[in-house]
Structure 1
C-alpha cells in the first residue's frame, strides 16, 4: 500500500516469520529446557507462546476475537514445533492479505487499534522472541536480520515510550540502558527490559 500514512507491516512480518521459522528448525531436543531472556519461559515454553501468539493474530486477521485464543499452543509435541509454526504463520499471511484489513479496527491484548498497528505489534513480538530463542540456543544476534530489529524497535518506542511508568501493565520489563556499541537487537532487548543471557 502506498500513500496510506503508515508503513505496510505485511512484508516485514513475512520476513520476520521466515527468520523465526528458520531458527525454530535448528532447535534440538536438548535445547528445549534451556532458559531464555524471556524469563517466564524456557525454550519449550517460548515455542508454545510463539505458536499460540501467532495463532491469535491469525484469528484477528480473519475477523475473529483474538482475545479468545489461548496464547500458548497445547497439543504440539516436541518434534512438531517447526511444522506448527510454519502452518500458523502461513495462516497469518493469508488472513492479512486484504488492504482493507490494514485500516480496519481490530482488538488485540493492548486495545482496539487499526490493523496495521496490530500487525506491527506482532512484528515486534516475533522479532523479540526470535532474539530470545537465538540467545537461548547460542546464535549470535549478528546472524539475525538487523532491519527487522530496527522496525521492531521503532514500534516498541512508539507503543512503549521511554517515559512509561515502571508499574505499567505490559509483558515487558522496565527499559534498560543499552551499551554504547549495542547492535539493533540488543537495543531492542534493552528497550523491552531484557538482559542478554551472557549478562543475566
Structure 2
C-alpha cells in the first residue's frame, strides 16, 4: 500500500477540477464511437470496445462509491444499449461530481489496497486509470482527442506514485494477500521504455505497460 507524500499543492488542493476535465475528454472520445466498432479489439486485450466502455463507466461509478463512503469493489460493470453510451457516461459523471461535492470528502481518511490517504489523494489515484483507458478507447476507435495537459500530468504523477517501474507482480501479490485472494491478476505490464521527450500521453501509457508506438 502506498502512502502519498509531498505537499498538498497543485491538483491535490482540489482534484475535482481534474476529474471534471478528465470526464470531458472521455465524453469527446465516447461520442465518436460508432455502433459498428463495439466489437472491435482494444489495447486492453481482454476487452472489446463495448467492454471497455462498460469498464470506463464502472471507473466513474467506483469514484462515486468512494465519495459516498460505499465499497467501490461492490460496483458491477454492465453494458448499456448501444446508442446510450454517451448518456451513461454523462449520468455517471454527474453522480461522481455529486458524490464529491462536499469539501469534507476531500479530507476524509480513505484506503484502497494500493493507497491510503485522504479523499483528495485517493480520488487523484484514479486519474491514471481514467486517462489510460480513454487512450485505449481512442486508439481502438481511431480517435485523436485533444489531450488535456493538466489531466495527463496529474495522471502521470499519480501513476508513478502507485506503480513501481519494475517488479509489479510482487506489488500486486502483496495487494492480493492483503485482500485475502489466493491469486492476483496483474492489471499492468511492466513499464515500456520510451524517450523522455515523447508526448506526455505516450509517456503515461508507456508507464502503464502500453507501447504507444506499436499497433495493438
State if a TM-score over 0.5 links the two structures: yes
Distance 1:197 1:181, change over 3 A: closer
TM-score normalized by the length of structure 2: 0.82
Distance 1:100 1:193, change over 3 A: same
Q: Distance in 2 between matches of 1:73 and 1:112?
A: 28
Partner residue, 1:26: 32
CA contact (8 A) 2:165 2:190 kept: no
Q: Following superposition, which runs of at least 4 residues in structure 1 exceed 6 angstroms of deviation?
A: none
Aligned length: 194
Deviation at 1:127, TM superposition (A): 1.0
Distance 1:139 1:184, change over 3 A: same
Any gaps of 5 or more consecutive residues in structure 1? Answer: none
Residue 195 of structure 1 aligns to a residue in which SS? coil
Partner residue, 1:136: 140
CA contact (8 A) 2:106 2:119 kept: yes
Work out which of the residue numbers 103, 111, 122 in structure 2 matches 1:118.
122
Distance 1:29 1:147, change over 3 A: same
Task: Please identify, of 162-171 and 149-158, the stretch whose mean Cα deviation from structure 2 is larger.
Answer: 162-171
Deviation at 1:32, TM superposition (A): 1.0
Cα offsets for 1:81-140 (capped at 9, x unmatched):
111110011111111112211111224353543211221012211111111111111123
Partner residue, 1:182: 198
Any gaps of 5 or more consecutive residues in structure 2? Answer: 1-6, 173-185
Deviation at 1:199, TM superposition (A): 3.6
Distance 1:167 1:149, change over 3 A: same
CA contact (8 A) 2:168 2:188 kept: no
Q: Distance in 1 between matches of 2:16 and 2:167?
A: 28
Superposition RMSD in Å: 2.0
